């Protein structure tokens, strides 16, 4: 598909058809890269993708307890240096 470069303020851009955005998963933010005289546009990956399913599995296995308990966070500095 051909597209035209359009002026956007002091920059230039292209219009990307909605089916392309749907197919690539691009919603808002993208990563841009220049490689061999080409501009590559990629969706920014969701760093939390899959977390919900993982948390469900952990809860079912009773493996969703905090890794650090309150006592391991204590330090002698808390009693010696800090005024409560």
pTM score, two decimals? Answer: 0.50
Higher-pLDDT residue of 81, 20: 20
State residue 13's pLDDT score: 94
Cα dihedral sign for 52, 58, 62, 65? Answer: negative
pLDDT at 69: 64
* Tens digit of each residue's pLDDT (9 = 90 or more) over 52-61: 998 899 889 9
Question: Exposed, middle or buried, 16 (CB in 10 Å: 0-12/13-18/19+)?
Answer: middle
User: Is-contact 4 14, C-beta < 8 A?
Assistant: yes
- Tens-digit pLDDT profile for residues 17-48: 999 999 998 988 999 999 999 999 999 887 88
Residue in 44, 17, 15 with CA at minimum distance from that of residue 28: 44
Per-residue pLDDT at 65: 78
Residues 44 and 31: beta-carbon distance below 8 Å = yes
Tokens for 71? 């006592």
Where is 42: in which H helix or E strand?
strand 38-43
Question: For 63-79, what is each residue's pLDDT tens digit?
Answer: 877 777 666 677 777 77
């Amino acid at each position: 598909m051909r597209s035209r470069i359009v002026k956007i303020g002091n920059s230039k851009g292209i219009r990307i058809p909605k089916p392309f955005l749907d197919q690539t998963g691009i919603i808002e933010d993208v990563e841009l890269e220049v490689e061999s005289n080409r501009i590559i546009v990629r969706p920014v990956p969701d760093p939390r993708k899959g977390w919900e399913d993982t948390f469900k599995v952990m809860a079912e296995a009773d493996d969703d307890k905090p890794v650090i308990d309150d006592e391991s966070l204590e330090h002698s500095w808390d009693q010696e240096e800090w005024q409560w």
